[in-house]
């Protein structure tokens, strides 16, 4: 079989399976507001990680358009992909998943709300304050991990330790 025809057949079969799955399972189960909050949180996490949408797309094996749709709140990734995103972006398990109504296996429904979720949910914070708090939180987590691994917490932490 010609490689072009074979590739088209595989792609077509995958698209058909996805469409059938969406018909059977109702498609995207997340609400529009859930997707919007997810997209905002994903955008901030990308900024904090210093990753572009294209870099994330390459890392997780999806198109740039898919990541763009997630960030814009127009679509949401499947649960397995959300878990992959959390790992790549160094987020606490369930941080992104709970925003879409996904509850990770083994996690109680009354699980702790992550710091990032609390920051996103606080109506008293503006965009600038959310970014600042999220950046501070991630830096503190990074320093803590470095200390736990026996490494140095980094120059910023040393400077803060010696300040009056």
Where do the domains of the chain lie?
29-149
Superfamily (CATH H level) for 29-149: lambda repressor-like DNA-binding domains (1.10.260.40)
pLDDT tens per residue, range 73-98: 999 999 889 989 999 998 888 888 88
pLDDT tens per residue, range 124-151: 888 899 888 888 887 888 888 888 888 6
Q: What is the 3-state secondary structure (H, E, C) of the chain?
A: CCHHHHHHHHHHHHHHHHHHHHHHHCCCCCCHHHHHHHHHHHHHHHHHHCCCHHHHHHHHCCCHHHHHHHHCCCCCCCHHHHHHHHHHCCCCCCCCCHHHCCCCCCCCCCCCCCHHHHHHHCCCCCHHHHHHHHHHHHHHHHHHHHHHCCCCCCHHHHHHHHCC
């Amino acid at each position: 079989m010609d490689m072009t025809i074979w590739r088209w057949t595989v792609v077509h079969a995958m698209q058909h399976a996805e469409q059938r799955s969406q018909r059977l399972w109702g498609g995207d189960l997340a609400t529009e507001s859930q997707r919007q909050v997810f997209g905002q949180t994903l955008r901030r996490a990308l900024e904090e990680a210093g990753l572009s949408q294209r870099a994330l797309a390459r890392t997780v094996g999806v198109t740039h358009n898919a990541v763009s749709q997630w960030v814009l709140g127009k679509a949401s990734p499947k649960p397995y992909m959300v878990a992959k995103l959390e790992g790549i972006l160094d987020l606490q398990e369930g941080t992104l998943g709970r925003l879409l109504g996904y509850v990770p296996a083994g996690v109680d429904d009354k699980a702790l709300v992550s710091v990032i979720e609390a920051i996103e949910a606080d109506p008293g914070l503006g965009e600038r304050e959310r970014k600042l708090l999220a950046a501070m939180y991630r830096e503190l987590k990074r320093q803590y991990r470095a200390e736990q691994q026996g490494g140095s917490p980094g120059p910023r932490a040393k400077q803060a330790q010696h300040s009056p």
